[in-house]
Amino acid sequence: MSEIVTKFFLDTCRPRRPLRRHCAQATELCAILASQHPDNEAEANIVPLTTGSVAEFYIEPMLPYVGDVDIMFHFSTWLAMPRGHPPPTQLPAEFHNYVKVCEIVDSHLPGYVYLELRYLLTECIDDKYNYFEYDNGLYLTHHTYGHSENSIHGPALLTNYLNISLGLLPVDNVHCVRCLSWPAEAADWPSRHRNWPDSSTVDCVVSNGCDVVNVAHRQCREDEWMGKYQWRLSFSRAEIVLINSWLPVQQIVYHMLRFLLKSEQLIDSVDSSERVISNYHIKTLVLWTCELKSKSWWTERLTVVRICVELFHTLSDWLIDAWCISSTTVT
């Protein structure tokens, strides 16, 4: 039976067609965001990026695998950089002539940081930037982009630009500050021993840098200062590159685990703040397994059913050892 199920999934999870409805919706939403401007910064642009399931999956299973459209966006007038780095002299074309640069300052919690305003970059000749240093100790606060508190879920702003009655998916917008450099908090990731990914994929991930999203740790959200000024490192760009480099069987297993958790209501909770397991835990589980297990483990030894069983045992161990405390752990 396991072999039959494996053959069924391998035969039916074909490469995704490029013009699926949710992909077209994501493209339209990015165009809408890109045509707008931040509040009080009429000359600045909004730069969007499709993330989440729409960007991660390159297979198309028979059962649904996309519940919403996730879009990250940053302003062309703001930039983050690791603490102690010199200010950049050149920037990608998406950035404005005047860019405020914040240094990433560690908090007492891994993966959570503060953004201290340090430099103003001004573009001069030959597309190069000069910089002026701030010395005022200002920290960047969260930006809700005109939304009420009821529409905020973690770092996401819940938005419906289009009519959901037409069969379109709900939208999660996440405001971030772009960081063009790989952060010091993940300095050991590129060089650690692993079976996957290969060196070219690692180089691609590192060259994309990361983002900083506007959400505080759950233990700090009620604090008057940290709740407004604490941010979280985001590696969504890295995850898109990594998951798109997976073998088809790895993407199938990822989809199966996500669907099983949702169908068995293991993710849902009456109080979402007490949620133990999320899709991000499943993603982390499969990413770690890809690093630890050889290619033959995925393709020769086991069926997809057996792989899922073994990963559920691993997840069980994580829960028993209380490793699944937060879905924001930097791995």
pLDDT band at 265 (very low <50, low <70, confident <90, very high): low
| Pairing label, strands 156-159, 152-153 | antiparallel
Residue type at position 71: I
Rounded to two decimals, what is the model's pTM?
Answer: 0.86
- Residues 112 and 328: their CA atoms lie apart, in Å, by 9
- Nearest CA to 24 out of 149, 174, 167, 155 is that of 167
Report yes or no: 229 and 140 within 8 Å, Cβ to Cβ.
Answer: yes
* Mean predicted confidence (pLDDT) in 212-220: 93
- Average pLDDT for 265-288: 71
pLDDT tens digits along 95-131: 999 999 999 999 999 999 999 999 999 988 788 999 9
Number of Cβ within 10 Å of residue 272's Cβ equals 11
> What pLDDT does residue 280 have?
86
Task: For residues 210 and 190, give the distance between their C-alpha atoms in angstroms, rounded to a whole number.
Answer: 14
Instruction: Note the pLDDT of residue 210.
Output: 97
List the Cα angle 241/216/142 in 5-degree steps: 90
Q: What DSSP line would sit under 227-256, residue for residue?
A: HHH-EEEE-HHHHHHHHTTS-HHHHHHHHH
Report pLDDT for 157. 53
Give φ, ψ of 191 to 5 degrees.
Answer: -110, 0
Mean pLDDT for the stretch of residues 17-37: 76
Percent of the chain residues topping a pLDDT of 90: 57
pLDDT at residue 292, as a whole number: 96
Residues 209-227, mean pLDDT to the nearest whole number: 93
Category of 124 on φ-ψ map: left (φ > 0), alpha (ψ -120 to 50) or beta:
beta
Q: Indicate if the pLDDT at residue 162 is higher than 80.
A: no
Question: Between the CA of residue 70 and those of 34, 48, 217, what are the distances in Å?
Answer: 15, 10, 21
Tens-digit pLDDT profile for residues 46-93: 999 999 988 999 998 877 777 788 999 999 999 999 999 999 999 999
Write down the pLDDT at residue 167.
60
Q: Of 60-74, 174-188, 194-208, which gets the smallest average pLDDT?
A: 60-74
> Does pLDDT of 153 surpass 70?
no
The answer, yes or no, to whether residue 329 has pLDDT greater than 70, is no
Q: How confident is the model at residue 177 (pLDDT cuts 50, 70, 90)?
A: very high
* Statement: residue 23 has pLDDT above 90: no
Residue the block writes with tokens 């430099």: 119
Q: Is the confidence at residue 149, as pLDDT, over 50?
A: no
